[in-house]
Amino acid sequence: MLLVAMLLLSGGVFADRFGRRRVFLAGVVVFTAASVVCSLAPSIGWLIAGRVLQGAGAAALSPASLALLTAAYPAPGERVRAIGLWAGFSGIGLAAGPLAGGILVEAFGWPAIFLVNVPIGAVLLLAGLRVLGESRNPSAPPIDVPGTVLSVAGVGAVTYGLIEGGSRGWTSPVILGGFAAGLVLLAAFVVVESRVATPMLPLRLFRRRLFTVSNTAMVVVGFALMGSSFFFSQFFVYVQGTSVLVAGLRTLPTSLAMVIVSPYAGRFAARYGFRVVVSIGLALAGLGLLALGSVHADTGYGNVWWRLAVVGIGFALTMSPLTGAAIQAVSPQEGGLASGVSSTTRQIGAVLGVALLGAIVHTRESGGASFESGLDSAFLAAGAVTLACAVFTGLMLTATRTPRSVRAERPGGHAVSEPPLTVPPGRPAS
């Protein structure tokens, strides 16, 4: 998680610069090889090393995959639908993880959760080599070395403080030093990016309301979805006393809801606008999380599953429109950069969610409360933040609808033709 949060933004920039297909396939190779290292790890040190490599691979393939879609579908309407499917499958993967992990661990042991990636990675690599065409941003600037170093170090320091604060103590010198160093490094990053001729993150993008609001909301989505999903299985295992397999099966309503709803989220956004769909989705997710805050050890599953389903429906309606909004706010040539920013904000939100909601649970337990009470407080906090974000997007997110033609709109309503996609000779666009 730490490496993904640190490197996602760089992964998007590298994809635009060196080729989206090349960076995507390199990410697949690294992630697959790292999965083998994890599965064969003889000690916790080797397992952590493998996880670090997995994070680096994921940070390359995730934004590059989205940038490939953006390049393959230059027409705004088609692009939003394609991004909707991409984000929907991403959400399905997040929600289905506990179920798949529970089945694999129960049937084959923990190494299986890493070995399952190997055949998938092999198929992706072979299919990618045959099917994917290369594309890049021909006007992509040179790699911004100072910006890359400062962003990686700054995000890494802050993320480390968030992850370790609950166990080391939020006022410990190491944690306070990590936060201080991270804030100084990120401030230096902003200063450098505002002054260099070719920044890795053009700050001008954040002058566009659609881009800024969508990425702000994506932080909350990562916070609430990943933070709460981290505790779904723990509730069933440690509060209600089920096995890991049963716990995974009981989280199925969230996964199924995302499977069913996600493919339609992009279409809804194209028809009704980003603001309506995102605000409704966040409101549903927030209400579902608040409802989960009142479940207990003796609550029957018949009174739990629908709460999980509401959460899944809400986030399924939210993720792809937010991703599509961020991509639509920039030119097609900046698709890799925009997808990297969107993925980075979601991942930073995920780190915040796991760390801060975990800290709520830990603090409640330290005060004498039960683990069950701590989980209830965490779900209530996630729900409250999500509902607040629903109000924020309802007020601030533009009501942009995806045009039916291949023409895009600049802020202010002036229609402009999208610049043509540049693809090296001999390669199809998709």
pLDDT tens for 251-273 read 888 888 887 888 788 778 878 88
Mean of the pLDDT values across residues 82-92? 72
Q: How far apart are CA 280 and CA 324, in angstroms?
A: 16
Helices 44-72 and 335-366 sit at what angle, rounded to 10 degrees? 140
For residue 411, pLDDT beyond 70: no
Q: In terms of C-beta distances under 8 Å and separation of at least 24 residues, what long-range contacts does 410-413 make, across chains too?
A: 411/208, 411/209, 411/210
Residue 240 tokens read as 């209600």
Give 416's strand partners: 408
- Quote the pTM value: 0.73
Backbone dihedral angles phi then psi of residue 409, each to the nearest 5 degrees: -115, 135
Max mean pLDDT range (139-143, 197-201, 289-293, 363-367): 289-293
Max mean pLDDT range (53-62, 89-98, 345-354, 392-401): 53-62
Max mean pLDDT range (93-97, 170-174, 242-246, 347-351): 170-174
Q: How far apart are CA 78 and CA 62, in angstroms?
A: 20
H-state helical runs in 74-144: 76-108, 112-115, 117-131
End-to-end CA distance of the chain: 30
Lowest mean pLDDT among 111-120, 201-210, 231-240: 201-210
Give 415's strand partners: 409
Angle at CA 372, nearest 5°, toward 371 and 376? 115
For residue 412, pLDDT beyond 70: no
User: What is residue 426's predicted lDDT score, i.e. its pLDDT?
Assistant: 41
For residue 416, pLDDT beyond 80: no
Mean pLDDT taken over the chain: 82
C-alpha closest to that of 96 among 301, 258, 289: 258
Side chain identity at residue 384, one-letter code: A
C-alpha closest to that of 413 among 401, 422, 395, 428: 401
Residue 357 tokens read as 């909601």
pLDDT digits (tens, 9 = 90+) for 139-154: 766 777 888 788 888 8
pLDDT digits (tens, 9 = 90+) for 184-203: 999 999 999 888 877 777 78
Report how far apart, in Å, the C-alpha atoms of 193 and of each of 74, 123, 151, 188 are: 28, 39, 10, 9
User: What is residue 179's predicted lDDT score, i.e. its pLDDT?
Assistant: 92
User: What is residue 349's predicted lDDT score, i.e. its pLDDT?
Assistant: 85
C-alpha closest to that of 64 among 127, 16, 32, 29: 16
Query: With pLDDT > 70 as the criterion, what percentage of the chain qualifies?
Result: 87
Can you tell me whether residue 407 is helix, strand or coil?
Answer: strand
Max mean pLDDT range (34-38, 158-162, 263-267, 319-323): 34-38
CA atoms within 13 A on the CB side of 297: 10
Residue 64 tokens read as 């590059």
User: Strand 415-417 to strand 407-409: parallel, antiparallel, or no bridges (unpaired)?
Assistant: antiparallel
pLDDT digits (tens, 9 = 90+) for 13-52: 788 788 889 999 999 999 999 999 999 999 999 999 999 9
Mean of the pLDDT values across residues 358-386? 88
Can you tell me whether residue 399 is helix, strand or coil?
Answer: coil
Lowest mean pLDDT among 106-120, 312-326, 342-356: 342-356
Predicted confidence band of residue 422 (pLDDT cuts 50, 70, 90): very low
User: What is residue 398's predicted lDDT score, i.e. its pLDDT?
Assistant: 67
User: What is residue 400's predicted lDDT score, i.e. its pLDDT?
Assistant: 55
Can you tell me whether residue 138 is helix, strand or coil?
Answer: coil
For residue 95, pLDDT beyond 70: no
Mean of the pLDDT values across residues 297-305? 90
DSSP 415: E
For residue 109, pLDDT beyond 80: yes
For residue 421, pLDDT beyond 50: no
